Structure 1
Amino acid sequence: MSHHGVGPRAVMRSAAFLTAGVLAVSSLAACSEDDPDTRPLAGQDIAPADRDRIADGGTVRWAVDTVPETLNTFQSDADATTSRVAGAVLPSMYRLDERGRPERNADYLESAKIVEREPQQVVLYKLNQQAVWSDGREIGAADFAAQWRALSGKDTAYWTARNAGYERIEKIERGDSDLEVRITFRKPYADWQSLFSPLYPKDVMGTPNTFNDGARRKLKVTAGPFAIDKINRKAREVRLKRNPRWWGHKPKLSELVLRAVPRDKRAAALAAGRLDLAEIDPSAARRITTAAGGKGSAGAPLAHGPDAALTPAQALRSWAIANGSDKGAADEETTAREKRSKAIAKYNKEQSVLRRLVVRKSLEPAYTQLALNGAEGPLADERVRRAVARALDRDELARVVLQPLGLPAEPVGSHLALAGQAAYADNSGALGEQDTEEAQALLADAGWVRGGPVKKKAKQEEKAAKGAGSEASKKPDDGTYIVGAEDKSGAVYDPASDEGVGDDSKPGGHGTSTVLVPAPIAQLRTALLDQAAAQAERSEADKADEEKQEPARDGKLKDGGGPGAYAPKGTAAPAGAAARPLAKDGKALSLRFVLPSGPGTEPLRAVGERIARMLDRIGVRTEISKVSDASYFKDHIASGQYDLALYSWPASAFPATDARPIYAKPVPAADGSLNVEQNYTRVGTDQVDQLFDQAVAELDESESRSLVRKADARIWAAAGSIPLYQRPQLVAARPNLVNAGAFGFETPVYEDMGYLKKGVKRVS
């Protein structure tokens, strides 16, 4: 799963998650329609419209991250675009509605149910008699059997990324007719509905060669509302056209173009008319909102554009240099001003187009988590991991990301499901809420002492790191720095205040309420004089604070400055020891916190830096390392080169199957290495593994859900990863484009997407 805005988000999603996009058929049957726990936190936002209001024809250019390297979703390099293509051109037995509830896809399946439980589980599929492949052949048992053989794991000539579930099948047979498929399981399998979605034709699955190579760049035979027309890698797009053999509702669109556009380039592509539908990051969403006349939370337009960061002082200085006596400097500054003017003109032109778009928003069926690497170092101790977890204010972190976007700001309570899914239950109580004192007690119990002795070598290293961290912390830039390191004046750089996700009072926050624009020179001079006077007043106040202890309005002492800053002269500073790092065995407690540095990752970094500040309060120092998006996951998360990290997982429709490799206890491999599967925190227990094994074999749906929830509670208690918040889903769209946008849990219905007929009232 992905982390915010980072390009290779598909790398973080297992093939299992990419291909298993449905829930169990009756998994929500026991839930009340009015039970709030069965509803997603945010509904979908797709501008729904009946088919009779939609025009026939048209093209939608839909932004994707990549042109897929393979069209086979069961291969290791399949990505999100692979799955999107498969959803439009291949059969899926079930789809999800907007509340995450599974519904039978009647275009392919008339019914499917367990017909025998003893001595073996048997499932009977009855297929739609109109369902045919694009070559005219009926979809049937031969296709199911070929896919089972390819994915069963028995034939290693097939380069498969997973075989979960398929290895439990004993045989597949034709039923009483060609439209019946009878599947007998060797072991009971609760998640049987996850299989055969998507379903590939036997032409693909029949031999290792066709599976490994034949389906990578083309699919000769398909069976969806759309078919693949052309894959143009130079133009970075996949063109889908109507399938002439489609037996269901005729697609409203004549063409669907999946165009690969980097996320930080999508606003410009939308403005240039190259896209009609695009998932975007919060900054692009704010651009569109601003262009349309949207206001910040304080009622003023949001600050954007090439001149948004230009302060009055900078504008005055630029004017002065450009009109000064130093000809060389004046020419250089004039060139820079002309370049900025062109950028502003281009930006304003784009805004005039973006104002005609809308932003549709929901919550993505995925969550962001804090991962704690328990393989070695301080976090190998469960008490330290639990202390880190207990230091986090998850409510604050959810608010800071989601509240400025107008989305429900509630922390996620489960590793294995999200609100709206049948298996969801808030099991965070197994770990406990934010509690600074309890976190400190856990650290003390683990032997980490505040102000404890640190070996001389460690002291020297710490001093050097502290000095480097101080410089880095004063200048937010890529690299490594220590959050909370003080400079000589006692000032502490607060990274979150600069990137301030959702802080309306700070420039750069989601809700920034002031637009900084060049003002007349006289006003600029006045502003600079006022600024200087205010600074002088603050300096005088600082001097006065050194002479006395100043109470806050609530009677408590103010925070700030160095330890004992407000104590009377001659008084020992009781906070002196508290200012020193926690130490054990001569080593200070410091954790490497890895964060991405690419475009669009500013919100994630701001969350990381807020977390670092929370940990600093309990004495845990963090060395923040900002690394490139390209290496973030592969070189750091997957390889275990981190202590703390932020990344995301999608919510699985079948957690007993799909989540097990994420939380399975690592085991030694034959070559002496550690086999972690997808458990990149390296934290697991035998008990969690046993609960997953029991849940996946339990055919009673209620009991299987109960076992999944118990597993989740154990995962919380182990504190290897801490779910934080559900990811926002922001989609820019043409206002007359309907049945498309922020889908939330819903599986897109490709044949119903299209543009409103002329004269039909636009859906808001």
Structure 2
Amino acid sequence: MSHDGAGPRPSPAVLRSAAFLAAGVLAVSALTGCGSDDAAGKPLAGQDIAPAARARVADGGTLRWAVDTVPETLNTFQADADATTTLIAQAVLPSMYRLDDSGRPALHPAYLESAEVVDTEPRQVVLYKLNQQAVWSDGREIGAADFAAQWRALSGKDSAYWTARNAGYDRIERIERGGSDLEVKVTFGRPYADWKSLFSPLYPKEVMGTPDSFNDGARTRLKVTAGPFAVQRVDRRKREVTLVRSPRWWGEPAKLSKIVLQAVPRERRAEALAAGTVDLAEVDAATARRVDLAGRPRGTGTPLQGATAEGAGETGALGRYEVRKSLEPAYTQLALNGAGGPLADERVRRAVARALDRKELAEIVLEPLGLPAVPVGSHLALSGQAAYADNSGALGGEDTKEAQALLADAGWVRGGPLKERRKKEGEKAAGAEGDPASPETGTPGAGPGEPDGEDDGTYIVGEDGKAGEGPEGGDRSRDPRSLAQDGKQHVQQGGGAQGAYAPKGTAAPGAAAGPLAKDGQPLTLRFVLPAGPGSRTLHTVADRVARMLQRVGIRTETAKVSDASYFRDHIANGEYDLALYSWPASAFPATDARPIYAKPVPAADGSLNIEQNYTRVGTDQVDQLFEQAAATLDEEESRDLVRKADSRIWAAAGSIPLYQRPQLTAARRNLANTGAFGFRTPVYEDMGFLKKAARPSPRTSAG
């Protein structure tokens, strides 16, 4: 899981980003290497966690795990919950479902014997049969009272609860005891396809029972838990959270005695690894390369950035670690703001999309890391997930001539008259010849295929399960305004001139001369990027995107802004034309993606309610497809409706998925069953250090 990007959210669902327009036949292309007729395919990369049987893992020990924050709250359903909140909840609280290797919900047998829809008329009824051994840490059985308390707190009916989200809970009509204390019967007032997303995590009634306990009581401590670990303390002075093995856990006992979650800024993780003060840390590619080199014999190569003999065999503490790598359950996209300017015209947005070579952009980021460089084909799921299908054919692939034809049809012609503009002598027009590596261009000096080793997605909209309910009950859990904190939580970066504009870009080889113009104005798009050093890969990708657009006559003006203001002042406020940021993938897209693609509507105060649709592009048809998918209890039909919605989203070209995000984790070589988790929810009770004579199983992460 990437705390920098998209990790699991409070419940096993997540969100994404924007869209618009008409149909287009669903075109499902074969996924590279799938070997299956299923359009969902297989995950492009599996877990890389150094798996080992429990018998080979030593009993005891403390795992020091570098995280981004000491969380402000331990309640995942509050607006300021973050990735560390979710990590803790996974270790100490019940979840009815967790995600499997393909990012699909799987029943959690420690808590559930079964869960199924037992009636659909006149109401949908779900019957949960609980594991008879499942108890809270105070000895009380987990039961209907806990389910009912969580429903009432999250239903949205009592404004005294400061809830972050109520999706799904607002459809429940009543909760009652079933035929025994181990049965919970949930009756829905409206059909809800994503019912498996609910009660994960499940908090005890002591937390959910009153507004005070919900709002304040669970922020800094959890007195009652029900997992392999319990919260011992939250120490803000030391910037760490300590979890201890729970004596009340009825499942396989945790191998570790303690897990200490230490808040370590991203830019200081290489230093912490070298000092040996952490055992596990998600890292950027530059740090991963150092770790990889330190553990290799001199003269050998490495799949990370193609390192060669120089630097290989580095000695010291870094040699005690290895890099475990996978792909995050998240993807990076190019967002196109359709609220105004040239991109308000759907033809211009489609032209931008048709100018892009998405395969090349994926290769720039992923090939140097030895990860599969396959462009993402869906806005709503990733390869391997049930709802995934490559629907990009609804828009079409790279086609320079088609892009130029779309621009011409929209009235943008080359050599048109321009209104007189004063320019400083020597100032380069956008697209003029220049050095792409020059400090003046506002782009890093990394050349093609050299992303400079930094993590690409400091700016993931709401990963980490950040919750926050938007207007009219919309889920704000992926709200960039919440994510304004992500600069602190994920990358504590600085640098760059706040609000600085880079001089105009450089022309791609062979670009035709003369700007496209309409009504006396040149076709120039403002490309807003974060300025921090952790965004170097984003800068490299943006530079390549700008070159691709230049080939069809679209010029870009790069604006590098401070990390803290990137989402708050630019993305959320619509102050951009083009931007790069990432969305987490969801096991429940009918619920979680809807706020991101909902058609913006005027609010009572005259403002525009966009929920999480930061591209401001939407249609009634897409809204209807999401509503139908969420209310359809036939799983195959619901999946097909989601895929159809994605086809329409592609056709709108409000946002263009590019590549799945890399996940790189440095781990001690003797640390088993943890690392780069990919889709799968971590199994905390199996984590631990190998016995001295034991060796980890072969690693097969990038499959």
* TM-score, with length taken from structure 2: 0.84
Q: Is the 8 A contact 1:8 1:629 kept in 2?
A: no
Match of 1:544 in 2: none
The residue correspondences of 1:232-631 to structure 2 (distance < 5 A) are 232-293=235-296, 295=301, 301=308, 351-456=315-420, 459-460=421-422, 466=428, 476-477=438-439, 481=441, 495=443, 498-500=445-447, 502-503=449-450, 578-631=512-565
Which structure is higher in helix share? 1
Query: 1:301 corresponds to which letter in structure 2?
Result: T
Query: 1:385 corresponds to which letter in structure 2?
Result: R
Q: Is the 8 A contact 2:508 2:547 kept in 1?
A: no
Q: Cα offset for 1:626?
A: 1.5
Which is bigger in relative contact order (C-alpha 8 A, separation at least 6)? 2
Match of 2:87 in 1: 84
Query: 1:208 corresponds to which letter in structure 2?
Result: P
Structure 1 Cα separation of the partners of residues 71 and 612 of structure 2:
22
Q: Is the 8 A contact 1:237 1:259 kept in 2?
A: yes
Structure 1 Cα separation of the partners of residues 519 and 339 of structure 2:
19
Structure 2 Cα separation of the partners of residues 179 and 704 of structure 1:
30
> Per the alignment, in what secondary structure is the counterpart of residue 546 of structure 2?
helix
Match of 1:19 in 2: 10
The answer to whether structure 1 residue 708 and structure 2 residue 699 are counterparts is no
Deviations along 1:407-460, one digit per CA (max 9) or x if unpaired, are: 11100000000001011000000000000010011011111111111111xx32
Deviations along 1:94-140, one digit per CA (max 9) or x if unpaired, are: 12222334322111111100000111100000111111111111111
Q: Cα offset for 1:262?
A: 1.3
Q: Is the 8 A contact 1:64 1:259 kept in 2?
A: yes
Match of 2:680 in 1: 746
Deviations along 1:51-87, one digit per CA (max 9) or x if unpaired, are: 1111000111111111111111111111111111100
> Per the alignment, in what secondary structure is the counterpart of residue 220 of structure 2?
coil
Gaps of 5+ in 1: 24-31, 306-347, 483-494, 511-559, 565-574
The residue correspondences of 1:2-151 to structure 2 (distance < 5 A) are 9=5, 18-21=9-12, 37-151=40-154
Query: 2:301 corresponds to which letter in structure 1?
Result: K
Q: Cα offset for 1:359?
A: 0.5
Query: 1:448 corresponds to which letter in structure 2?
Result: W
Q: Cα offset for 1:281?
A: 0.8
Query: 1:356 corresponds to which letter in structure 2?
Result: R
When residues 302 and 198 of structure 1 are mapped into structure 2, their CA distance, relative to the original with a 3 A threshold, is farther
Query: 1:89 corresponds to which letter in structure 2?
Result: V
Q: Cα offset for 1:600?
A: 2.3
Deviations along 1:219-276, one digit per CA (max 9) or x if unpaired, are: 1111111000111112111110011111111000000011111112111111111110
Q: Cα offset for 1:743?
A: 0.7
Structure 1 Cα separation of the partners of residues 209 and 322 of structure 2:
46
Q: Is the 8 A contact 1:287 1:351 kept in 2?
A: no
Answer with 1 or 2: which has the greater Rg.
1
Q: Cα offset for 1:473?
A: 6.0
The answer to whether structure 1 residue 698 and structure 2 residue 632 are counterparts is yes
Structure 2 Cα separation of the partners of residues 225 and 466 of structure 1:
61
Match of 2:655 in 1: 721
Structure 2 Cα separation of the partners of residues 19 and 385 of structure 1:
34
Deviations along 1:307-358, one digit per CA (max 9) or x if unpaired, are: xxxxxxxxxxxxxxxxxxxxxxxxxxxxxxxxxxxxxxxxx9x852112211
> Per the alignment, in what secondary structure is the counterpart of residue 422 of structure 2?
helix
The answer to whether structure 1 residue 190 and structure 2 residue 193 are counterparts is yes
Match of 1:323 in 2: none
Q: Is the 8 A contact 1:502 1:509 kept in 2?
A: no
Structure 1 Cα separation of the partners of residues 654 and 161 of structure 2:
34
Match of 1:667 in 2: 601
Could you say what the CA RMSD is over the residues aligned between the two structures, in angstroms?
A: 2.7
> Per the alignment, in what secondary structure is the counterpart of residue 316 of structure 2?
helix
When residues 386 and 741 of structure 1 are mapped into structure 2, their CA distance, relative to the original with a 3 A threshold, is same
* TM-score, with length taken from structure 1: 0.78
Q: Cα offset for 1:749?
A: 0.2
Q: Is the 8 A contact 1:22 1:95 kept in 2?
A: no
When residues 579 and 304 of structure 1 are mapped into structure 2, their CA distance, relative to the original with a 3 A threshold, is farther
The answer to whether structure 1 residue 176 and structure 2 residue 110 are counterparts is no
Structure 2 Cα separation of the partners of residues 562 and 256 of structure 1:
51
Q: How many residues align?
A: 623
> Per the alignment, in what secondary structure is the counterpart of residue 363 of structure 1?
strand
Q: Is the 8 A contact 2:67 2:261 kept in 1?
A: yes
Query: 2:402 corresponds to which letter in structure 1?
Result: E
When residues 296 and 197 of structure 1 are mapped into structure 2, their CA distance, relative to the original with a 3 A threshold, is closer
When residues 100 and 18 of structure 1 are mapped into structure 2, their CA distance, relative to the original with a 3 A threshold, is closer
Q: Cα offset for 1:579?
A: 1.5
Q: Cα offset for 1:476?
A: 4.3
Q: Percent identity?
A: 71
> Per the alignment, in what secondary structure is the counterpart of residue 327 of structure 2?
strand
Q: Cα offset for 1:647?
A: 0.4
Q: Cα offset for 1:20?
A: 2.6
> Per the alignment, in what secondary structure is the counterpart of residue 113 of structure 2?
strand
Deviations along 1:453-499, one digit per CA (max 9) or x if unpaired, are: 1111xx3269886369989967644xx858xxxxxxxxxxxx57x21
Deviations along 1:601-642, one digit per CA (max 9) or x if unpaired, are: 111110011101111111111111122222212221111111
Query: 2:357 corresponds to which letter in structure 1?
Result: D
Query: 1:72 corresponds to which letter in structure 2?
Result: N
